[in-house]
Structure formats: C-alpha cells, structure tokens
Amino acid sequence: MNDKAKTGITDVAAVGVPVTDQERALQFYVGTLGFETRLDVPMPGGGRWITVAPPGATTMIALVAASENIPAGVETGVRFTTADADADHAHLRANGVDADDVLRWPGVPPMFAFRDQDGNGLEIVEGA
C-alpha cells in the first residue's frame, strides 16, 4: 500500500448502537451489563452524547438516539468478551434479558447472542 494512502487512525473509539430512549439504555448498559459511563453530555438541539464501556475496555459503545435513518432493533455486529460465558448468560437471564442459549462448537469459544432493551442484537464470546 502506498504510504500516502494511509490515515492516522490508531484505534476504534466507539461503536454506535441506536436506542429509542437514551436514559433507559443507560440503565440497561450500566445497571444490567455492569458497564461504566464514560461520557454523558448534552448535544446541541437536544439529546445527549453518551458512551459506556466495560471497566478497563478501550472501545466504547455510543448510545445513539434512534431516528428514521438510524433505527433501533438491529443486529449490531458487536461482540463483547468475557472470562465466563455461562456465568454471564445466567446473570442476564436472571435479570430478564432476552438471551439465546450458549453455543458450543469444537475449536470455537462458547458464545451467545442477546438483545438489549430495544432489541438490538449483541453477542458475548468467552475469551481464552
């Protein structure tokens, strides 16, 4: 690749997840998932810029206000990591979260899909 074609991008700061109610989403991601609020500031014209993340994580989730062009209830493609997929699965189900069964395939770490308060699809994958 030509050096002139490279950018200065060094990391992924945040991944946007569309939500219909930012306060309700904040309660889910912080209260149920155990994330921490990294930023919560008002935006011009209303709404808020909210980012959350697991403690110690580099990449954050931006809780973006859903709109006609950015609908909630989508498959996000976001994969979180955990040390214990079974324990997290049990915790989420005990807290009323819509979570699928833990999947297990030879040579692939345990993982499961779940949905947030708006039906956005997310996954948890057990790390090595």
Confidence of residue 5 (pLDDT cuts 50, 70, 90): confident
CATH of the domain at 43: 3.10.180.10
The phi and psi torsions of 27 (rounded to 5 degrees) equal -65, -40
Domain boundaries, position 28:
3-126
What is this structure's pTM?
Answer: 0.91
Instruction: Give the total number of structural domains in the chain.
Output: 1
> What integer pLDDT is reported at residue 46 of this predicted model?
83
pLDDT in tens, 75-116: 999 999 999 999 999 999 999 999 999 999 999 999 999 999
Q: Which long-range contacts (CB under 8 A, 24 or more apart) does 107-115 make?
A: 109/85, 110/85, 110/86, 111/79, 111/85, 112/85
Cα separation, 47 vs 41, whole angstroms: 9
Q: What is the pLDDT of residue 128?
A: 63
Strand order of the β-sheet with 48-53 is 14-19, 60-65, 48-53, 36-42
How confident is the model over 35-77, as pLDDT tens digits?
999 999 999 988 899 999 999 999 999 999 999 999 999 999 9
What is the mean pLDDT of the segment spanning 14-36? Answer: 97
- Residues 6 or more apart whose CB falls under 8 angstroms from that of 79 comprise 111, 122, 123, 124, 125
